[in-house]
Structure 1
Amino acid sequence: MAAETFDIETRWPELFAQLDATKRRAVVQSFAAAWHEGWEPNREDVENLTDYMRGAIDASEYDRRSADAAKRHRRVPAVAR
C-alpha cells in the first residue's frame, strides 16, 4: 500500500544530512516523480542515490547497486497450474 504523503526526508533524515539544498531537492524530485506513478520509495534506493549525490560512490557503483536491488526485488511470475 502506498503512503498518502511523500515523506522520504522525514523517514530517513540521516540520509539527507550531508546534502546541500540543491542535491536534496534533486533527490526528492527524483523519488517524487516515481512516487506519483505508484512506486513506494524504500530506504535502500534512497540511500544509494544520496550516497551517489554526496560523492560517496561513483556512477558505476550506483548502477551496480541499483541492478542488484532490482534483481532482488524482481517479482517472479506465478507458475501456471
Structure 2
Amino acid sequence: MTNALDTFVLRLPEDLHLRLRRAAEMNRRSLNSEIVARMERALTSMSAGELDDGSKFALIRKVIVLENTLEQIKMNAASD
C-alpha cells in the first residue's frame, strides 16, 4: 500500500460547493479536509451495516450503558 495521495478534479454544483465551503469554515478545516471527513464518515456508516450480530449486540449494550449513565447524571444533577 502506498502513502501517495491521489489527486483528481471533482466537479460540484455551485450550491453544493458553497455549502461544503461554509461547513469547512465552521469546522475550521480546508474544503478538501471537509470533503474527506464527510466521505470517511459516510463509508464508515456504510460498513457498520456489515457488522456481525455479536458486534451489533455489543454496540447496543454500550448504548444502553451510556443511556443509563446519562440518566444517573441527570438524576444526580436534579437532586443537587
Q: Which has the larger radius of gyration?
A: 2
Structure number with the bigger relative contact order (C-alpha 8 A, sep ≥ 6) is 1
Bigger fraction of residues in helix: 2
- What TM-score comes out, normalization by structure 1 length? 0.31
